[in-house]
Structure 1
Amino acid sequence: MIKGIQGWLFCLQVLGLVIHLPQLATGLGVNDFLYFRVLSPEDIGYIFTAAPAQDFGGVFTQLYEEIYLVLAEPPDGCAELRNAAFLEGQVTLLERGGCSFLSKARRVEEAGGKAVLIADNAYDNDSLYVEMVQDGTAVSTSIPALFLLGRDGLMIRRSLEQHALPWAVISIPVNVSSIASFQLMQPPWTLW
């Protein structure tokens, strides 16, 4: 007899009720993800999944129940951050591309950021997580660096632009094991 959640997932897969599970498609396990919840704006008030960098960056040593998720300027974070004053003490959202993941994280750390989310620049990506790895330089960073699906990054950015907001309010990290309705709180565009 198969026990627990794995048993239920197995039964659902056999019955064809589970179409896609990102952690199975990418080889990452459920414990390899970190979750955050958007509190404001409400139209994107979902729990999002992010994958921590594989071999660089720090870990969250505290829970941020309400912290700003600030859009970086420029969006790829490969040049001097024009809005560095707004990034201090906050979480920054960047886009993939133009320079290494580590370079992006270093720029945010130098601006005083608490963590960085790097969204895929393939906006139609709603299921494949990229493993962010060290770039081979002697540079390091101590802030958490997380990879976010392209569709999730696009939807967050789009919502902020529609509401003319410079940032979202998030809670990070979120313990999803204590949320009974976790599946219902995921973005509707994400396959699960």
Structure 2
Amino acid sequence: MCALTCLNPIAIALNLLLLVIAPLSGVHHPTIHDIITTQDIIAGDVFFEITEPAVLEYTYRLRPAKDFGVSFVSQRFTGIGLVLTQPSDACSKIRNYRELRGNVALIKRGDCSFLTKTINAEIAGAKAAIMTEFDDDSAEFEYYIEMVHDNTSREAHIPAGFLLGKNGVIIRSTLMSLRRPHAIINIPVNLTFVPPAQINHPPWLGW
């Protein structure tokens, strides 16, 4: 009986000694950034970066449309404009088509299908369509919305994706306060070999 009870303090002491020695011996204990890879973060999503204005210079995540439009990876656009559409919901003919032609449309979610918005952006000459939330009181403000086909016979021939509402509100309000008609972006950007801790996420997302 004494042998068992007397060994317990010795075992405890040995365990404590190992805890002290392990960091000094070069043994690596994985952190959360070692365990989570960039591939885990991407998970089929697309990223773009704003290069102007400087206050918005971050990397943003998009959830591509599920079953309409073409892939974002089919073509890369560098130094292209991200233009707020008029009307903001793009549910009717886009009035500022001259500014939008050859650029990417930033469109308010709601009031018509995502496919309708994308088709109207395509008709106006946009290279891609990004839908987002402009209402920070919306219940979906902090969620990615799955964009699906509206079951009509129509099709879109440009890529489309959903931007987190929190990002959409800040991008729109910043452009309006600076009286800028558009931001400058690169889309898509390849983050495959960028460590998660080095991705330049917007600070307001709390990464």
Contact 1:57–1:144 (8 Å) recurs in 2: yes
1:169 to 184, 194, 200: 184
Distance 2:194 2:78 in 1: 15
Amino acid at match of 2:204: W
| TM-superposed deviation, 1:183 | 4.5
Larger helix percent: 2
1:93 aligns to what SS in structure 2?
strand
The reply on whether 1:51 has 2:63 as its aligned counterpart is yes
Aligned identity (percent) is: 39
Kindly tell me the number of residue pairs found equivalent between the two proteins. Answer: 174
1:68 aligns to what SS in structure 2?
strand
Q: Tell me which structure has the larger Cα radius of gyration.
A: 2
| TM-superposed deviation, 1:162 | 1.3
Distance 1:138 1:74 in 2: 24
1:98 to 108, 111, 135: 111
Amino acid at match of 1:96: R
2:145 to 121, 124, 130: 130
Contact 2:59–2:199 (8 Å) recurs in 1: no
| TM-superposed deviation, 1:122 | 4.4
Distance 1:35 1:184 in 2: 10
Amino acid at match of 2:36: L
Q: What is residue 13 of structure 1 aligned with on the other side?
A: none
Distance 1:90 1:151 in 2: 22
Contact 1:126–1:190 (8 Å) recurs in 2: no
1:40 to 52, 55, 59: 52
Q: Unpaired runs of 5+ in structure 2?
A: 1-29
Runs of 4+ in 1 over 6 A off after TM superposition: none
User: Cα deviation per residue 1:111-135 (whole Å; 9 max; x = unaligned)?
Assistant: 1110000002442656421110000
Distance 2:68 2:33 in 1: 30
Contact 1:127–1:191 (8 Å) recurs in 2: no
1:120 to 133, 149, 153: 133
| TM-superposed deviation, 1:181 | 6.8
Distance 1:45 1:37 in 2: 7
Amino acid at match of 1:9: I
Distance 2:85 2:148 in 1: 21
Q: Unpaired runs of 5+ in structure 1?
A: 11-22
Distance 1:182 1:58 in 2: 30
Q: CA RMSD in A?
A: 2.6
The reply on whether 1:149 has 2:149 as its aligned counterpart is no
Distance 2:132 2:80 in 1: 18
**Using a 3 Å threshold, how does the CA distance of structure 1 residues 127 and 7 change in structure 2: closer, same or farther?**
farther
Amino acid at match of 2:143: L
Q: What is residue 64 of structure 1 aligned with on the other side?
A: 77
Q: What is residue 20 of structure 1 aligned with on the other side?
A: none
